[in-house]
Amino acid sequence: MKNIEALIDDGGDITLGHLDGIGCVASAADGSNALAMLTRRDGETLNALLKRLDRAVARYYKDGETIDEINTP
């Protein structure tokens, strides 16, 4: 999970936990920007969710694209 590691090394953070009404979520931020907010899919392991978060951080670094599965219908 090299992209998450780079984010944390640069002062960013990730959060993993339960959000009422949504369930398990994982998010990544760089201090001023939310890079990704993901919801855990049915049957998805925590490891798979973290790998998906790592890919989302990579996408942000490459294209500046954010992913928001929490606030998107």
The span from the CA of 71 to the CA of 69, in Å, is 6
| pLDDT of the residue at 31 | 85
Query: First vs last Cα of the chain: how many Å apart?
Result: 28
Secondary structure element (H or E) that encloses residue 67, with its range:
strand 67-68
pLDDT, tens digit (0-9, with 9 covering 90-100), for 30-57:
988 999 999 999 999 999 999 999 999 9
With 0-12 CB in 10 A as exposed, 13-18 as middle and 19+ as buried, what is 70?
middle
pLDDT digits (tens, 9 = 90+) for 1-41: 999 999 999 999 999 999 999 999 999 999 889 999 999 99
So what's the pLDDT on residue 69? 97
